[in-house]
Amino acid sequence: MRVRIDGERCQGHGRCYSLAPEVFGADDDGFGTVLADPVPTDCSQAAVLAERNCPEGAVSVED
């Protein structure tokens, strides 16, 4: 699974790195960053959860 964050959309709400801290982190301003791409298999459900919960639709995942 591959994952990315659209930096144009991200507003730094932090749900991605709260829900999937193994996959996403935060930069110095609280905007989401990708830590694990490709996503480890045991983190794929968390990555999908983050995609669904990003209020800006900035997270995308694909198999």
Summarize as ranges the residues that interact with ligand SF4 (CB under 6 A): 5, 10-16, 31-32, 54, 56, 58-59
Question: What span, in angstroms and rounded, lies between the C-alpha atoms of 63 and 60?
Answer: 10
- C-alpha to C-alpha distance for 25 and 33, rounded to whole angstroms: 5
Two structure tokens written together for 4: 């990315």
CB of 38 to ligand SF4, least distance (A): 18
Task: Compare residues 31 and 61 and give the one whose CB is closer to ligand SF4.
Answer: 31
Nearest-approach distance from CB 59 to ligand SF4, in angstroms: 5
Name the nearest CA neighbour of 50 among 39, 60, 40. 60
For residue 33, the minimal CB distance to ligand SF4 (Å) is 9
